[in-house]
A and B are shown apart, each in its own frame.
Chain A
Amino acid sequence: MNKFGLSNFVRPSIFRSHCLGSIKTPTSVSTFVRFARTSAKKKNRGELSASQVRQKNLLSAVSGARKVPRKLDMCVEDLIRHNTVTRAWALYQKEIRDKRAQNLERQYRMIDEACDALKSAGDRNLYNKATKREFGKRFPMELRVPTDTPPKIVWQYEWSPEEKEKK
């Protein structure tokens, strides 16, 4: 509503930007200006229902403004130090990555060589059985993702899933 209150000029977009979902906004004003203004103000004065208050609180939880951390205040020396450490870390990671890739490549080559050797050995039946692709392979559920605090007995060698089902 126009804060000078003398004309019936209304900008509804201002109200829409402030309201949530199903709050009613004044979209038209009668010709009797003063009366219309007071009635509209009464309706809209900061009174939200309980559900609307909940929605407002929820929206504040996902709003972007609070998630942006403050920019780090670093002097030039700090910045140089940071860049040096970052570059060294990236280099270290690249070495690890390259070594891992090398290992996998070597493993692949060795698998291929073993299969070639088996084929050239002449036993076709043995070769077919050894190189047959097995489908439906699953990693065992007992294989856990390692943690910093592993259990005292890491692997129970005597345990087998069949025994568990019998019990």
Chain B
Amino acid sequence: MNGGLIQFARGFHATSASAKAKISVVEPVHHLVKYKKWHLKPSMAPFLIPKNSPESHRYRPATTRQDRILEHYNNTIASDLLLITHKHESTNKLGVKTREWSGESPYHINRPAKPPRGNRLVPTQDIKVRTNKNLPVIEKVTVETYDKTCVHAAENYIPVKVMLQQITSTKPTLIYAKKNIPTWNLRRGMVMGAKVELGGRAMTDFLSTLSLIVLPRIKEFKGIKNTSGDGSGNISLGLTAEDIRHFPEIEANGEVWNKLSGCNIIIHTSAQVDPDARTLISGLNLPFTGKEKIPSRV
């Protein structure tokens, strides 16, 4: 050992990394794929068939009809968005990040990083140059419903779940409380409602139903609020229980639905800032109202 030559910061432990004589640089290449021996049984063979093969029991044909909204995006909206969001000779704008300690003192080891500069605790994302490669697209739509009465009667999640499945034609998942909230009599693990995450055809079908049938029939609806948005390109709107009656699947046998509840609709886009997301969503016949506040970093 040539321990006398090492001039690193003094560690607290005798076995700190700098003082070690040698370390292995050969990465282990065996057992990269983890498996259990019973996975190799012949009876497990059907589960190895990929989902897109008609031999699989999970097979569902994907492309069975035209996707109007996707074609509209590709034919019309994408090229317009490229022109609208273009800024000549722009550069990447770095967000504010947490600040690491320099490491010159041994007391810096394991010390948590400082929060970002300014009056904020959470780091912000970088805004990259807008090119043809990162055009904003609608990634998914989340429809979620919370029911207060589930606290007292847990079985009230059932009509909520059925309603969401009817209007989105996708199987919903339940939402559970993550922590105790004593003022609402809510405890961890209780059912609060249901949600659906839509993508692909189910998403575009839902959006076209929303923009062509449901929203035009709501008398008070002026448009999605321009203040809506979480700052990173996700826009949300809310529907009341009366608004949901305009969905054709609900309206067809409206007398059956004695109790409906409202829902939140969150449109997740890949836009880096909210103004870009609003421009994109307005291309699907979804109007916006109110004054728009442009963030300082766009």
In Å, the complex CA distance between A131 and B87 comes to 7
Known: A104-B78, A135-B275. A21 touches B69 (CB 8 A): no
Chain B residues lying within 8 Å of A58, measured Cβ to Cβ, are 158-159, 161-162
In Å, the complex CA distance between A131 and B83 comes to 10
In Å, the complex CA distance between A74 and B85 comes to 50
Q: Is the CB of A146 within 8 A of B55?
A: no
Q: Is the CB of A22 within 8 A of B153?
A: yes
Taking the complex as formed, is B287 at the interface, i.e. its CB lies under 8 A from any CB of chain A?
A: yes
Known: A62-B161, A139-B80. A105 touches B132 (CB 8 A): yes
Taking the complex as formed, is A94 at the interface, i.e. its CB lies under 8 A from any CB of chain B?
A: no
Q: Is the CB of A108 within 8 A of B161?
A: no
Q: Is the CB of B287 within 8 A of A141?
A: yes
In Å, the complex CA distance between A105 and B69 comes to 22
Taking the complex as formed, is A89 at the interface, i.e. its CB lies under 8 A from any CB of chain B?
A: yes
Q: Is the CB of B155 within 8 A of A21?
A: yes
Query: Of A22, A79, A134, A138, which contacts B282 at CB under 8 A?
Result: A138
Q: Is the CB of B171 within 8 A of A67?
A: yes
Taking the complex as formed, is B135 at the interface, i.e. its CB lies under 8 A from any CB of chain A?
A: yes
Q: Which of B114-151 contact A (CB under 8 A)?
A: 131-132, 135
Taking the complex as formed, is B86 at the interface, i.e. its CB lies under 8 A from any CB of chain A?
A: yes
Count how many chain A residues have C-beta atoms less than 8 Å from C-beta atoms of the other chain. 46
Q: Is the CB of A143 within 8 A of B283?
A: yes
Taking the complex as formed, is B288 at the interface, i.e. its CB lies under 8 A from any CB of chain A?
A: yes
| B-contact bits for A115-131, CB 8 A (1 contact / 0 none) | 11001000000000001
Q: Which of A82, A111, A139, A146 has the largest count of B CB atoms less than 10 A from its CB?
A: A139
Chain B residues lying within 8 Å of A69, measured Cβ to Cβ, are 60
Q: How far is the CB of A56 from chain B (nearest CB, A)?
A: 9
| A-contact bits for B277-288, CB 8 A (1 contact / 0 none) | 011001111011
Taking the complex as formed, is B218 at the interface, i.e. its CB lies under 8 A from any CB of chain A?
A: no
Chain B residues lying within 8 Å of A86, measured Cβ to Cβ, are 52
Q: Is the CB of A131 within 8 A of B153?
A: no
Q: Is the CB of B158 within 8 A of A145?
A: no
Chain A residues lying within 8 Å of B84, measured Cβ to Cβ, are 134, 137
In Å, the complex CA distance between A67 and B84 comes to 44
Q: How far is the CB of A164 from chain B (nearest CB, A)?
A: 14
Q: How far is the CB of A111 from chain B (nearest CB, A)?
A: 6
4 shortest interchain CB distances as A-B pairs: A21-B155, A104-B132, A115-B88, A139-B283
Residues of B within 8 A of A (CB): 52, 54-57, 59-60, 63, 66, 68-69, 71-72, 74, 76-80, 82-89, 131-132, 135, 153-155, 158-159, 161-162, 165, 171-172, 208, 275, 278-279, 282-285, 287-288, 292, 294, 298
Residues of A within 8 A of B (CB): 20-22, 55, 58-59, 61-62, 64, 67-69, 71-72, 74, 79, 82, 86, 89, 100-101, 103-105, 107-108, 111-112, 115-116, 119, 131, 133-139, 141, 143-148
